Amino acid sequence: NAGVTQTPKFQVLKTGQSMTLQCAQDMNHNSMYWYRQDPGMGLRLIYYSASEGTTDKGEVPNGYNVSRLNKREFSLRLESAAPSQTSVYFCASSRGQGTYNEQFFGPGTRLTVL
Q: What are phi and psi of 76, to 5 degrees?
A: -120, 125
Give 61 or 63: the residue with its C-beta nearer to other proteins.
Answer: 61
- Overall residue count recorded for the chain in this entry: 114
For 40, 76, 88, the CA distances from 68, given in Å and listed in that order, are: 30, 9, 20
Applying CB under 8 A, does 33 fall inside the site for other proteins? yes
Residue type, 57: K
Applying CB under 8 A, does 89 fall inside the site for other proteins? no
Nearest-approach distance from CB 13 to other proteins, in angstroms: 19
Residues that bind other proteins (CB under 8 A): 31, 33, 35, 40-45, 48, 50, 56, 58-59, 88, 90, 92, 94, 97-108, 110
